[in-house]
A and B are shown apart, each in its own frame.
Chain A
Amino acid sequence: MRGLVKRYGEREALCGLDLLVPRGSFFGLLGPNGAGKTTTIGVLTTLVQPTAGTARLFGWDVQADRGLVRAAVGVVFQEASLDPELTAREQLDLYARLYHIEARRSRVEEILALVGLGADADRPTRQFSGGMKRRLEIGRGLLHRPRVLFLDEPTLGLDVAARARIWEHLRALHAAGDTTIFLTTHSMEEADALCEQLAIVDGGRVVAAGAPDALKAALGGDVVRIALERPDSARERLARVEGVREVAQEPGTAFRVTVQDGPRRLAGLIECVRSCGVLEVTLHRPSLEHVFLHHTGARFEARDA
């Protein structure tokens, strides 16, 4: 994707988005609500026409080669996209026909078994729970063995058990073959648990990209929070400890120390401020949440204000 722009009237949903997704990877697009994640999927799946910029999928242009792109992608939308009156089996059969799949019947049964809906295959989907619907949608997305599976917030609104089950399906799918998986989420936990490669988007732009561990490491290390009785000259003393990159004082008498290799430096840090009366020490290893807030936090607050 190069320089994608999508305008809806005055509002710019995407303003010059550049993104490269390696073939066969498990890719996550992470961002706050309204960052442009769904619009990006819309463009890549031919549903949304970009105002400017180009997007290519396996070398095909998503606008000029719509037919080829549509046959190669599977999509699981954020909101339901099932016919409530049709049964699970009928829906899959319908799409198996539309995608002109050979050995239709056996493929439909295979998918029903894969997503664990064999027993409920003949019930109309309006009777399904949220988790069952999502599983059926994933099944439909996989039916025609797409080269890329797009999932837009696949576990939004599901309970913990349903979410774990979907994660399991996705991991198995990725392990099984060379399907590229592209998912959007605003859950750090999900991105961390599943994705090999991440891009963080905010305000219609990519603000950071890379493997989760690399993104975490780029933040500069662990954070040790130390609360003291008397701050005195603690700030200077902490800054002199080996591996410490930054010392920031919180309102009050607590310090946030950014340090490499936190667990090993912890004893040294406590030792050097012992005379100040240590009240509390906590060690934070960097999580994706820190990465996320680091890149999008300021904008978040500005928007809420």
Chain B
Amino acid sequence: MSALVADTLTLLRRELIRYRRDRAYWIGQIVFPLAIVGFIGFGLDAVVALPSGTRYVEHLATGVLALLVGSGAVGGGFSLIEDRESGFLRALLIAPVSRTSIVLGKLVARMLASLVLVGVLVGILAAFTPVRIAHAGALVLAVGGITAIFVGMGVALAARLRRLESFRLIAALVTVPLYLFSGIFYPLSTLPAPTRWISYANPLTYGADLLRYGLLDVHEIGVATSCGMLIVLTAAAVGLAITAFDRGMRT
């Protein structure tokens, strides 16, 4: 058990070194959401009125953060394929390290990177939108939960695929519908009923709603429901990732 924790921390350290050095990643992840909020958010803000009374730019800003955390986390799978292509993974697999540590190292590193990213973006957005930290606990759970769910899906996918191109394609095929049906761009209450039901089956819906609660103090789904769903889905995603990885590495 203690070896599991120690090895996870060692691998977490390696991932964090990589994140710290990856300047392009940080620039992209910070500029992209600001550009969306700036051009689309403020543009539509003047013509769209939301039933809840929330300004559209606030809705979109928080939604884009959820999108960013999710799409970034799928990259956890991406980095696994990179590790395979560089050969690094092979050296890791013959070391006396449990497969679980390898997955957990990636997951926790991505959670920390997501939290830092959201923190920086909230700081910037706070300067020109009403976005601020209203409920820190809910915010952390939302970011952590979305990250875990998408890392889980990414790793499960990456464990089965050998090529970067196939991963990109299939990951997009799986995740884009999740983004579209999650209330990121429009509140659920403005959607037609069948679409809304699809959204309720979408894990990202709960993460995005809780994130909005954490930043704007508004929500469409009960806070307790969202928290519960995220905790259950996080556990399921981590389990899925570990099993899929373990199975995928046997040759």
Q: Name A's B-contacting residues (CB within 8 A).
A: 42, 45-49, 67, 70-71, 73, 75, 77, 79-86, 90, 94-95, 97-100, 137, 140
Contact = CB atoms under 8 A, between A and B. Distances in A.
Contacts of A48: 251
A95 B95 contact: yes
Interface stretch (B3-11, B114-122, B183-191): B3-11
A80 B86 contact: yes
A99 B7 CA distance: 9
Interface residues of B, number: 25
Contacts of A98: 7, 10-11, 92, 95-97
A90 B3 CA distance: 20
B95 A46 contact: no
Interface string B175-188: 00000000000000
Contact of B88 (A42, A82, A90, A100): A82
Nearest to A141: B91
Contact of A75 (B3, B17, B88, B91): B91
A137 B86 CA distance: 13
Given A49-B250, A75-B94, A94 B87 contact: no
B14 interface: yes
B90 interface: yes
B14 A71 contact: no
Contacts of A137: 91
Given A42-B251, A47-B251, 7 more contacts: A48-B251, A49-B251, A70-B95, A82-B86, A86-B14, A90-B14, A99-B96
11 contacts: A48-B251, A67-B96, A77-B87, A77-B90, A82-B88, A83-B14, A90-B14, A98-B11, A99-B95, A100-B6, A137-B91
Nearest to A73: B94
Contacts of B247: none
B160 interface: no
A77 B91 CA distance: 8
B93 interface: yes
B58 to A, nearest CB: 37
A140 B91 CA distance: 9
Complex A-B, nearest 3 residue pairs according to Cβ-Cβ distance, in ascending order: A81-B87, A81-B91, A97-B10
Nearest to A84: B86
Interface string B11-54: 10110011001100000000000000000000000000000000
A91 B91 CA distance: 11
Q: Which of B18, B87, B250 has most chain A Cβ within 10 Å?
A: B87
A105 to B, nearest CB: 15
B87 A85 contact: no
Contacts of A81: 86-88, 90-91
Nearest to B251: A48
Contact of A83 (B22, B88, B95, B97): B88
A46 to B, nearest CB: 7
A100 B87 contact: no
B14 to A, nearest CB: 5
B100 to A, nearest CB: 14
Contact of A85 (B21, B92, B93, B94): B21
Nearest to A76: B91
Contacts of A83: 14, 18, 83, 86, 88
Contact of B17 (A42, A47, A90): A90
A97 B10 CA distance: 7
A167 B97 CA distance: 30
Contacts of B17: 85-86, 90
A134 to B, nearest CB: 12
Given A48-B251, A49-B250, A85-B21, A94 B86 contact: no
Contacts of B94: 45-47, 70, 73, 75
- B94, B95, B97 pick with most chain A CB within 10 angstroms: B94
A56 to B, nearest CB: 17
Contact of B18 (A46, A77, A79, A85): A85
